[in-house]
Amino acid sequence: MELTIQKTSNPKPKPDQTKLGFGTHFTDYMLNMDYTQDLGWHNTRIEPYAPFALNPATMVLHYGQGIFEGMKAYRRGDGNVQLFRPRDNFNRLNYSARKLCMPKVDVDHVMQALKQLLQVEKEWVPGVAGTSLYIRPTMIATDPFLGVRASFTYRFFIILSPVGAYYAEGFNPIKIMVTREHVRAVRGGVGDTKTMGNYAASLLAGQKAHDAGYTQVLWLDGVEQKYVEEVGSMNIFFVINNELITPSLSGSILPGITRDSVLKLARQWDMPAVERKIAIDEVIAAQKEGTLTEIFGSGTAAVISPVGQLRYEDQVVTIGQGEVGPIAQRLYDAITDIQYSRSDDPMGWIEPVA
């Protein structure tokens, strides 16, 4: 593989691993790669992390033709570094690319390039319990042009950010608010991709939920505003009558890799797990009948995020006395044990780096 590495003369001091937070520290290097119609993807290079200059007419800045991914590198107890299902992230990037009229990347090529970047940046992978190195592959449309069409040129880059333990003080069930005023995604739209505009579109509802004292928004479908879709930027699970239920992938839901891992583990454990439409009314009714025992979100950032309280219009319902449920806990432990190699990896989800 052709890949050039330009060394930095200015390595940064590493931040305190006990105060990392999320997304504020960036490592010394980044990966860049360019696309033109003539050359395809070319000039894959590892360079010092630095701002890049963009023509003010650059298309991504105007029409949002941009996509990204989010995954992590984990430091194991023996010091080695590894990834969790990274090919699934690049395959999802390619799915997003197709829907946004952007060029696909070669998964083997970007995997190798990412591994080399991580080799160079190995020292940046934190080792304190629960920390990791967040990986943000991004693709943007770079033609300097103000007409609305797909760009002819693109930049792909990967930046890395050491991030703190999500649950520094243990699991804290979150409070979520159902919105009927806003929708995250529509039928036939791009809700099943990681495109930038989806996140911009979610901000106002998120702000309103926050102002009302809730951590996240629970999104309903964009057509009838009846069926549950996602929670904040996580997929959602319910435990009703001891059955694990998650909304089926309708085209407007992001197919989360953690969601898929939860379903695969549950099936391996012979736990009943179904993907189907689930109406918010069914959730409220199950809570009233006492059959709803757990709700939790799933995603790369928190892995599993238990929900303790849910507000829908004038009703506020508490789930499982506001404590972490046994299924959420078991899934969290099982997934994080695989990610840090504290347990075996029977599904083959781990990809070693260095």
Residues near ligand PLP (CB under 6 A):
70, 230, 233-235, 254, 256-259, 298-300
Residue 216 has phi, psi (to 5 degrees) of -140, 160
CA angle 183, 187, 191 (to 5 degrees): 65
The first and second tokens of residue 125, run together, are: 């992978």
Report the residue number, 46 or 85, with the smaller CB distance to ligand PLP: 85
The CB-side HSE value for 233 (13 A sphere, CA atoms) comes to 16
Smallest separation, CB 21 to ligand PLP (Å):
18
Strand partners, 294: 239
Looking at the Cβ atoms of 254 and 324, the one nearer to ligand PLP is 254
* Residue among 29 and 296 whose Cβ is closer to ligand PLP: 296
Choice between 120 and 176, CB closer to ligand PLP: 176
Minimum Å distance from CB 6 to ligand PLP?
30
Question: In this complex, which beta carbon is closest to ligand PLP, that of residue 69 or of residue 143?
Answer: 69
DSSP 271: -
Rounded least distance, CB 244 to ligand PLP, Å? 16
What's the closest the beta carbon of residue 55 comes to ligand PLP, in angstroms?
29
Output 91 or 225, the one with its CB closest to ligand PLP. Answer: 91
Name the nearest CA neighbour of 168 among 221, 126, 139.
126
Q: Are 354 and 119 in contact (CB under 8 A)?
A: yes
Cβ closer to ligand PLP: 188 or 322? 188
Structure tokens at 293: 């025992």
**Dihedral of CA 112/339/12/54: which sign?**
positive
CB of 197 to ligand PLP, least distance (A): 12
120 or 266: CB nearest ligand PLP: 266
Q: Which helix (H) or strand (E) holds 34?
A: strand 29-36
Minimum CB distance to ligand PLP smaller for 48 or for 255: 255
Q: Which residue of this chain has its Cβ atom nearest to ligand PLP in the complex?
A: 256
Residue 194 CB, nearest approach to ligand PLP (Å): 6
In the block, residue with structure tokens 């591994």: 115
How many residues can be counted in the chain? 354
Q: Where are the beta strands (DSSP E) in 12-163?
A: 29-36, 40-48, 66-68, 71-75, 81-84, 132-141, 154-163
Distance in Å, CB of 176 to ligand PLP, minimum? 14
Strands 132-141 and 71-75, how do they pair? antiparallel
* Minimum distance of ligand PLP from residue 258's CB (angstroms): 3
Contacts of range 155-158, beta carbons closer than 8 Å, 24 or more positions apart = 155/32, 155/33, 155/34, 155/35, 155/52, 156/32, 156/33, 156/34, 156/35, 156/41, 156/105, 156/110, 157/30, 157/31, 157/32, 157/33, 158/30, 158/31, 158/110, 158/113, 158/114, 158/117
Nearest approach in angstroms of CB 67 to ligand PLP is 12
